Amino acid sequence: MKQTFRKRGTDADRPGVRALLAGSVGNFIEWYEFGVYGYFATVIAARFFTPEGGSEAEALVRTYASFALAFFFRPVGAAVFGRLGDRIGRRPVLILVVSLMTGATTLIGLLPTYAAAGALAPWLLTFLRVVQGLSAGGEFGGAVAVMTESAPPGRRGLYGAWQSFTVALGLLGGAGVAAVVATALTESQVQSWGWRLPFLLAAPMGAGALWLRLRLDETPEFRRERASSGTLAAVRPPGREVAGAIALGAGRIMGWAAAGYTFLVVLPSYLQNTLDASFQQALIATVLANLGFAVTILPAGLLSDRIGRRPVMLTGAVLVVVLALPLLDLLQDTGTSAGVRGLAVFCAGAVVGLMAGPGPAMLAEMFPTTVRYTGLGLAYALSNAVFSGCAGLVITETVERTGNADIPAYYAAATCAVSVLALATVPAVAGAVRGEAG
């Protein structure tokens, strides 16, 4: 009787639950940091990219260029760490990438500013952003592989959705910490040293993530593949067919990548610089957008297990195409009440969640076990490098040059329109309980 009780009572020891926890915690830290960097973009611009005589707009563009650079190193990280993860296992590589991400994020909080180190300061920041980009590139493929390969039958969509859900939690965590810092400290304190605190918090979070990953078992699918082939070390590199699947996967999620960063990360700086909102107002709007994002992710992943990935993701992409401009118009209208504006940004996040929920499982199902870490990681990293990493830079620069405040809506809608075409190629029953396989 005692043994039965222990078996049923220790859910945290079940491999599937451990996989969810270990995979999720790394994603949380990664997106917490990227969110914090986006939320404090204007402060970082002033501290690192504004020498004497430089304009604020110019400094913000340089800050987003550093932001974009980290994303362009994600595909490199996805290729290097993904190949390693497909050969020696998911667990050791995930331990390595979370250690790199934690170390780089913590060091950003300790960097000297331009006033102290001159031109060396932005270069040091950029180097740490590159390290973050490399580790983040290796994070997604491994985390999703672990989650989906450990999922019970018919639950791959729900398990994969936890990756996106922890993205929302990480962005919300970053926004919450930023809001606390902005509220508890004066503006001069935030500008001087307060901005460092959210980055330094990565150290204890990373220690917890490392502990969880050290307790992680290798996935059942990987163990079966290694047992049947003897070793995965001799597996050939991905060929032309896999390269085509990577390109198609990137197209299927480009709308998710672009709209997600437009609505969830770039929004604070856009509201401050284009619509003259305060830092606190911009953070509140971002929190509401991320809450909407978080609310729909897990239900969308679960629904995709029942009716398939395609209808759920297509719904989200089409809604962004239709609603992006009207939602932005509501934010720009000075006569719009605070409640309606809050509802608008909440809805913007919610429609992105419809794509983000089934997205990880959809990508995982496009690749066999022997190249899954590499394949889905590269598809995600390439799409994010081009359409997420460049979102802040493209939007800020284009608005600055054209004076058109509707650019964020056009950007999100155009990328989602392309995703609609790519998503139409997803098999109708892909991911549904009756059709899940592989």
pLDDT: is 278 or 165 the higher one?
165
**What is the tens place of the pLDDT at every residue in 357-391?**
999 999 999 999 889 999 999 999 999 888 887 77
The separation between the first and the last C-alpha atoms of the chain, rounded to the nearest angstrom, is 37
Q: Is residue 291 part of a domain?
A: yes
| Mean pLDDT for all residues in the chain | 84
Q: Is residue 101 part of a domain?
A: yes
Quick one: what percent of the chain has pLDDT higher than 70? 87
CA-CA-CA-CA dihedral for 147, 305, 164, 331, to nearest 10: 180
Indicate the DSSP class of residue 217: P
pLDDT: is 238 or 196 the higher one?
196
Q: Is residue 11 part of a domain?
A: no
Long-range own/partner contacts, residues 87-92 (CB < 8 A, 24 or more apart): 87/232, 87/233, 87/235, 88/232, 88/233, 89/218, 89/222, 89/226, 90/142, 90/145, 90/146, 90/149, 90/218, 90/219, 90/222, 90/373, 91/146, 91/213, 91/216, 91/217, 91/218
What does the pLDDT read at residue 354? 97
Q: Is residue 336 part of a domain?
A: yes
What does the pLDDT read at residue 245? 93
Q: Is residue 204 part of a domain?
A: yes
What does the pLDDT read at residue 1? 43
76 pLDDT more than 70: yes
User: Domain range spanning residue 45?
Assistant: 16-219+239-423
231 pLDDT more than 70: no
Q: Is residue 98 part of a domain?
A: yes
Residue 57: which of 392, 284, 386, 408 has the closest Cα? 392
**Secondary structure (DSSP) of 301-357:** HHHHHHH-HHHHHHHHHHHHHHHHHHHHHHHH-TTS-HHHHHHHHHHHHHHHHHHHT
Q: How far is CA 30 from the centre of its chain?
A: 8
* CATH code of the domain containing 336: 1.20.1250.20
**What is the tens place of the pLDDT at every residue in 235-292?**
555 677 889 999 999 999 999 999 998 888 777 667 777 777 777 777 788 888 889 9
Domain count, the chain: 1
- CB 365 within 8 Å of CB 438: yes
What does the pLDDT read at residue 13? 45
Mean pLDDT, rounded, for 131-154? 90
- CB 167 within 8 Å of CB 307: no
Q: What are phi and psi of 431, to 5 degrees?
A: 90, -20
Q: Give the 3-state secondary structure of residue 230.
A: coil
pLDDT: is 412 or 386 the higher one?
412
- Count CB neighbours of 139 within 10 A: 31
What does the pLDDT read at residue 307? 94
pLDDT: is 264 or 141 the higher one?
141
Q: Which pTM value belongs to this model?
A: 0.82
Q: Is residue 431 part of a domain?
A: no
| Lookup result for tokens 């419809």 | 354
Show the 3-state SS of 62-124.
Answer: HHHHHHHHHHHCHHHHHHHHHHHHHHHCHHHHHHHHHHHHHHHHHHHCCCCCHHHHCCHHHHH
- CB 257 within 8 Å of CB 418: no
Confidence of residue 313 (pLDDT cuts 50, 70, 90): very high
Confidence of residue 434 (pLDDT cuts 50, 70, 90): very low
Q: What is d(CA 228, CA 251) in angstroms, rounded to the nearest whole number?
A: 33
C-alpha distance from residue 234 to each of 26, 220, 226, 229 (Å): 29, 20, 11, 9
What does the pLDDT read at residue 432? 61
**What is the tens place of the pLDDT at every residue in 29-54?**
888 887 788 778 778 877 887 665 55
- CB 321 within 8 Å of CB 405: no
Q: Is residue 277 part of a domain?
A: yes
